[in-house]
Structure 1
Amino acid sequence: MISISLQGLRKGQCLSDIWVYQYKQGGIFLIPKSVIKRIEAICRNFLWDGSSEYHKVPLVAWETVTLPKNEGGLGIKRALTWNYATIGKLVDWVYTKSDRLWIKWVHQLYIKDKDWHNYSPPSDAAWAWKNICKIKEMIKNGYVANTWILNTKGYTVSSGYEWLRHKQPQQHWTPMIWSNWNIPKHAIITWISMHKGLKVKEKLFRLGCCTDDGCIICDREVETQAHLFFDCPYINQVLQLLEQWCGFRIHVSMLGGLQNAKNCLKQQVHYLLWNALYYHVWSQRNAARIQSVLIRPQKLAEMIKDEVCRRIKVTMGRSPSRNDSTWLRKWGL
């Protein structure tokens, strides 16, 4: 432990020693914005390219990626907001007058007998203290009578992050994508499509990256996401084959997904089929564009069936009910 005399400290003096002490005690320290921006850039680049460097436009904005899954994001936390929420712990210690050396120091040197809730730092205060006071202004409305109102156990970094982040409405389609039954690579393609991030020809043509915007598969209409996944004759043939096999209608549209499920198993299988269909249709579209190869709808339907059956066997941990067993036997499971 670092020993610091309260009487010998002046404004800004030994501040670095205090932050070293604070870091050892709780791992809390201010990170410069330039460092945080670089950290987020590395995370963003790794997400889209698997490396620290990526020079293309991301498929989905980082502001969307960092939303919780039920709000349409991937649940990745914003580094800057998380750092602010972490520093909020220092603010809370001042509110609660925690029995810590650093808290005693700021009360004696800065706050003295002033009201911390309405406190403003002096112009000659240290940089670190001014930033702590800035973060205090961000979260102070979450305190009533010096008590954090979002959590009965007091301030936590998680609750501070929830207070600071910009919340968005919950999306009705997220349970269909993030079901534990879905194969992750299928789910991520469907998620990108929900944010209109797939590079269909309509978008590429608008950016001047290709000479026409016609559908690669059917060559009848403009290749938009709506056409590719809802209207293209190719996907409709695959859909008909899969529906004949599973015995219920597969809604490619997001709006009808939950209406098919008579029980939990059928609901999960519906989600599984639906995401697999999105993934494989997009894969076939890319194969047609890059390799000029497109397999028959019957073969694609068989590929999806096999993949779904394997996933069901791996994921279904408990013994199915009698009705579910009868239903699964029709599928050969």
Structure 2
Amino acid sequence: MRALSSFCKASGLAMNNAKSEIFFNGVPEDIREGIKQVTGFREGTMPFRYLGVPIKAGRLTKKECSTLTENMVARIRGMGAKKLSYAGRVTLINAILNTLQNYWAQMFIIPKSIINHIMAIYRNFIWDGSPDYHRVPVVAWDKVTLPKKEGGLGIKKADVWNIATVDWHNYSPPADATWVWKNICKVKENLKDGFHDSKWTMSPKGYSIKGGYDWLAPDQTTLNWTAIVWNNWNIPKHSLTTWLRMHEGMNVKSKLFRFGCCADDWCVLRQRQPETVDHLFTSCVYSWKIKVAMFNAYHYFIWFQRNNARINDWLQRPEVVAVRIKDDIKRRVKQKCRAVVDQSDLLWLQNVVLV
């Protein structure tokens, strides 16, 4: 108590005894009562929450970790996320939801059931704008969680990220450590081959969470189309639409017809041919008239016009669509040119102008 008093005088931070708790382990009852009388603290019970996370000596249960997924669901429902595009939802996951998970992941090995629930929330949110399951995913989750250069969306696998966040190399827990602590310490075994002479071989700067994640994640082949799809000059919703096309994730009429969701499989862009992905983006006459536009903008606007034709039964003239594409790209270039542009982006833009 003298130490706490000295800290208060030095820092100006006063402790509220009435809101403070003290925890005992193996202390006789009479000594407990004496300590509580001297300190004015009330005795707390395990588990308790500190800075929003559960603190306990034993195994964390699904119920005790449910706050994490509840906070994720609350963020989704409270931000009008249903109205976001696919690209907006991916951005929200990486910028906000993954931050919530990362906060917990640096302190605990999150129970597998919660990890699975987090992945389900991410998956449902991307494809339907809701944390609940309403729609069948159009692209396999194993592909979604790949890095962008390998054909994915760059969303981190929650279980692998959890392991990467709590690693350290030269530490062993004492024999009397709690289950939680021992479980966390097991993580380093997953990464021990990444160290050489106690140095992290993935980077000369030492261990990083991203380096650990890349070490644990399976290495895939870099695909030749990813640099075009995910270039910084592209509008995100255009890139996401192209990405769906590359993974055959679009619900064209040929696919819907097989499941009995529509009366026929004719192309809705006024072409008497079956509407497949290849037809819609390659051989459809209407599509050919718009192909002078940029690669990613082309995929986005064709898909937009196709949905308008199917749902609202109207089409814009190809000339009008081309103008809209040019306007969108022009605005994007102006927006990027206000910011700091690196040499690779300038080279990419020069190549586009030459084409």
Query: Structure 1 311/129 Cα, relative in aligned 2: closer, same or farther at 3 Å?
Result: closer
Q: 2:166 aligns with which of 69, 87, 92?
A: 87
| 1:135 is the counterpart of 2:214 | no
Cα distance change of structure 1 residues 134 and 303 upon mapping to structure 2, 3 Å threshold: same
| Structure 1 stretch displaced more, 143-152 or 205-214 | 143-152
The two structures have a TM-score, normalised by structure 2, of: 0.62
Give runs of aligned pairs for residues 230-245 of structure 1, distance below 5 A: 230-239=282-291, 242=292
The Cα offsets for residues 171-217 of structure 1, whole Å up to 9 and x where unpaired, read as: 11112111222111111111111111011111112222222222111
Q: Work out the CA distance in 2 between the residues paired with 1:74 and 1:319.
A: 24
Q: 1: distance between equivalents of 2:284 and 2:319? A: 15
Bigger Cα displacement from structure 2, 277-286 vs 218-227: 218-227
| Contact 1:150/1:159 (8 A) holds in 2 | yes
* Equivalent residue, structure 1, for 2:152: 73
2:107 is aligned with 1:28: yes
Query: What's the % identity of the aligned pairs?
Result: 46
Aligned-residue offset at 1:290:
0.9
Q: Which runs of 5+ in 2 are unaligned?
A: 5-21, 26-54, 61-102
Q: Which amino acid aligns with 1:33?
A: K
CA distance, structure 1, for counterparts of residue 198 and residue 215 of structure 2? 16
Which structure has more RCO (C-alpha within 8 Å, separation ≥ 6)? 1
Match of 1:57 in 2: 136
> What are the within-5 Å matches in structure 2 for residues 153-232 of structure 1?
153-232=205-284
What is the match of residue 277 of structure 1? 298
1:298 aligns with 2:349: no
Distance 1:3 1:145 in 2: 41
Query: Would you say how many aligned residue pairs link Structure 1 and Structure 2?
Result: 255
Q: Is the 8 A contact 1:68 1:76 kept in 2?
A: yes
- Please tell me the residue identity of whatever aligns with 2:117: R
CA gap 1:206/1:183 in 2 versus in 1, 3 angstroms:
same
Name the amino acid aligned to 2:321.
Answer: L
Superposition deviation, residue 130 in structure 1:
6.2
C-alpha separation between the residues in 2 aligned to 1:281 and 1:180? 21
Cα deviation, residue 77, structure 1: 0.8
Q: Is the 8 A contact 1:48 1:54 kept in 2?
A: no
Letter of the structure 1 residue corresponding to residue 220 of structure 2: Q
Letter in 2 for 1:292: D
- The offset of 1:61, in angstroms, is 1.9
Residues 293 and 83 from structure 1, CA distance in 2 versus in 1: closer, same or farther, beyond 3 angstroms? same
TM-score (norm 1): 0.66
| Off by >6 Å, runs of 4+ in structure 1 | 1-5, 318-321
Matches of 2:207 and 2:24, distance apart in 1: 27
Question: What do residues 50-95 of structure 1 show as CA deviations (whole Å, max 9, x unaligned)?
Answer: 2222321112222212111111111111111111112323xx241x
Moved more, 148-157 or 295-304: 148-157
Give the aligned CA root-mean-square deviation in angstroms.
3.7
Supply the distance in 2 between the matched residues of 1:84 and 1:219 (Cα, whole angstroms): 52
Give the letter for the 2:329 counterpart. Answer: V
Greater strand content? 2
Long gaps (5+) in structure 1: 6-14, 95-102, 111-124, 243-249, 251-272, 329-333
Aligned partner letter, 1:295: Q
Counterpart in the other structure of 1:311: 332
Distance 2:339 2:203 in 1: 36
